[in-house]
A and B are shown apart, each in its own frame.
Chain A
C-alpha cells in the first residue's frame, strides 16, 4: 500500500499557543482516516496544514510524497476539500458553482460540463441543477460542496465535519458516498464529533486532545483495548459506590451514573443486582464514545 499522507513531528505554533504538538501519523491509499477530538484539539489546524493553506511551523508533512510548503499547487491539484463552513458562491447556480470551480483547476469547459452533470447526478441534485444556491437546504448545500470537492477527480478528499447539522437522511447519503469513493481508491480524511459516524466510516482513526494524538488504531480495536466489549451502568449513588467498593469492583464515574468496564458482563450485573440494588442496572456494548470520553475526560470544552 502506498502512503498518501505522512506527518513526522508535525507542529503548528500560533503566536503563543501550540495548536499541534509534534504529531505523527501515516495514511495509506484508499483508507478512510478519521481525526477525532474535542473542540480546540487541533483537528482543523491539522486539516488546514494538509490542505496547504496554513503553513506548518515545524516537523515534516508530505502529501503524495510532496512537501506541503514547497509544492502546494501540485498537491491542491489532486485534492478535494469539504470545509467546515459551506463556502458556495451565492452569485452562481448549482451547476454554475461546479463550472466556476472547475476553472480554478484549469479543466477545459466541455470536460467540466460533463463532470458537473455527472456529479450533480451523483449527489442527487438533478432537480436543483439551475437553482440559486441560496434556495438549497443545509443537506443539499453539503452535497453540493461534496460534488464541488470532486470536480477535479481528486485522489485525496479532506472533509472537516461533513455531516454537522444534517438530518439522518442527508447524513446517510454522505456516508454512502464516502464509502463508495473510498472503495474506488480515493483516500478520505475526515474530522467529526460523531462517534457513531467515525466508527462506521473510518478504517483507522486518531483521537486528539490539546494538540497531541492520544491514540491511533481501528475503531473496534480501540474500543476493545480501552473499554472492553461491554459496559455495565448503574445509578451514581453513595449506596452503590460503597457496595461496589466492598465487592472490590472498579468503576468510573460518568456524571449521573457509574460505569464498570469488565469482561464478565453477566456476572457483574448479577452481582450488583444481588448485592447492591434491585433495579437500574444496564449492560450495553461499549462504543467509541466511551473510549473518547475515557481518554479526553468529561469536562466541557469551550
Chain B
C-alpha cells in the first residue's frame, strides 16, 4: 500500500520550524558563497579569460553557482541531516507512531530538501543581480526551478541515505558523485571542450549538467531546445528517484 496524503506537510513543517530557529546561521552560506566565488573565479580568474562562447566569464559561472548551491542544499540535507534524524534521533520512528505514514515522512523530507534549495536560490539571486551577472526578468524563474532541481537531488540523496549502513559511508557519494559532478557539469568550463563521447556520458548521467543548462538559459535569457530536453530529463529523473527513494526507505525502516 502506498499511503500519501496532505500529512507529508507535517514532517516538512517540522524541518522548517527548526531551520527558522537558526536562520541567521542558515542564511550565511547562500549569501556569502556567490560573493566569494564571483570575486575569486568570476573576476579574479575571469580576468585572464576573455569570454566563454562570447559570454563574460562571471556571467558564465553565475548560473553554475546557483546550480551547485541548489544541489548542495538538498543533497546534504537529505543525506547527512536526514540520516541523523532517521538513525540517531529516531525522529522518523516517532512520526510513524502517529497517523503519519512512512511515505509521508519521506516525502516531507524530500520536499523540505527542495524547499531548502529554493531558499538558497532566493537568497543568491539578489547577490548575483547586484554583481550584474544575471538578466531580468528571466532570472526570476531560477527560484521556482530551484524547487524542482532541489527535489531531484533530495530524491537521489535519500536513496543513498536508505542504503548507507553508517553515516560515514555517506562520504562515498559525496566524493565519488558530488565532487566530480561539481567540476565536470559545464560549471566552470563549457562541456564542449570534453571529448564528444564523454560529453554524451556526462549528459546521460550527471543531473547537475542539466541543472546548469536550464539555469544558464534562465540567467542569460537565451532559450533553446536543449533547455526543454534538460527540463524533461530532470522531471523524469526526479519521478523515478522519488519512488525509488521511498521504496528503499520503506525497506530499511519497515521490518
- Residues of chain A touching chain B, judged by Cβ–Cβ distance below 8 Å, are 14, 51, 53-55, 69, 72-73, 76-77, 79, 81, 83, 85, 87-92, 100-101, 103-106, 152
B97–A51 touching, CB < 8 Å:
yes
A103–B94 touching, CB < 8 Å:
no
A76–B97 touching, CB < 8 Å:
yes
Q: Which of A87, A106, A152 has the most CB of B within 10 A?
A: A87
B94–A87 touching, CB < 8 Å:
yes
Nearest residue in B to A96 (C-beta to C-beta)? B17
Q: Which 10 A-B pairs have the closest CB atoms?
A: A87-B90, A104-B98, A81-B97, A87-B94, A91-B18, A73-B99, A76-B99, A77-B99, A53-B96, A104-B10
A87 proximity list for chain B (CB < 8 A):
89-91, 93-94
Known: A53-B254, A54-B254, A87-B89. A104 touches B101 (CB 8 A): no
Nearest residue in A to B98 (C-beta to C-beta)? A104
14 CB-based A-B contacts, threshold 8 Å: A53-B97, A55-B254, A69-B1, A72-B3, A73-B3, A79-B97, A81-B97, A83-B93, A89-B14, A89-B89, A91-B21, A103-B10, A104-B7, A152-B98
Query: CB within 8 Å of A: which of B1-17?
Result: 1, 3, 7, 10, 13-14, 17
B7 proximity list for chain A (CB < 8 A):
104
Distance between A166 CB and nearest chain B CB, rounded to angstroms:
19
Distance between B239 CB and nearest chain A CB, rounded to angstroms:
26
B89–A104 touching, CB < 8 Å:
no
- Residues of chain B touching chain A, judged by Cβ–Cβ distance below 8 Å, are 1, 3, 7, 10, 13-14, 17-18, 21, 89-91, 93-101, 254-255
B101 proximity list for chain A (CB < 8 A):
72-73
Distance between B59 CB and nearest chain A CB, rounded to angstroms:
40
Known: A76-B98, A91-B21. A14 touches B93 (CB 8 A): no
Distance between B41 CB and nearest chain A CB, rounded to angstroms:
36
Nearest residue in B to A70 (C-beta to C-beta)? B1
A83 proximity list for chain B (CB < 8 A):
90, 93-94, 97
Distance between A44 CB and nearest chain B CB, rounded to angstroms:
11
Given the complex of chains A and B, what is the CA–CA distance between A77 and B89 in angstroms? Answer: 23
Nearest residue in B to A97 (C-beta to C-beta)? B94
Distance between B8 CB and nearest chain A CB, rounded to angstroms:
12
Q: Which of A69, A81, A89, A105 has the most CB of B within 10 A?
A: A89
A14 proximity list for chain B (CB < 8 A):
255
Q: Which of A51, A85, A91, A101 has the most CB of B within 10 A?
A: A91
Distance between A105 CB and nearest chain B CB, rounded to angstroms:
6
A88 proximity list for chain B (CB < 8 A):
94
Residue of A72, A73, A89, A152 touching B94 (CB-CB under 8 A): A89
Nearest residue in B to A74 (C-beta to C-beta)? B99
Given the complex of chains A and B, what is the CA–CA distance between A110 and B17 in angstroms? Answer: 18
Distance between B152 CB and nearest chain A CB, rounded to angstroms:
26
B3 proximity list for chain A (CB < 8 A):
72-73
Given the complex of chains A and B, what is the CA–CA distance between A90 and B91 in angstroms? Answer: 10
A51 proximity list for chain B (CB < 8 A):
97
Distance between A40 CB and nearest chain B CB, rounded to angstroms:
15
Given the complex of chains A and B, what is the CA–CA distance between A51 and B90 in angstroms? Answer: 16
Given the complex of chains A and B, what is the CA–CA distance between A73 and B255 in angstroms? Answer: 18
A91 proximity list for chain B (CB < 8 A):
18, 21
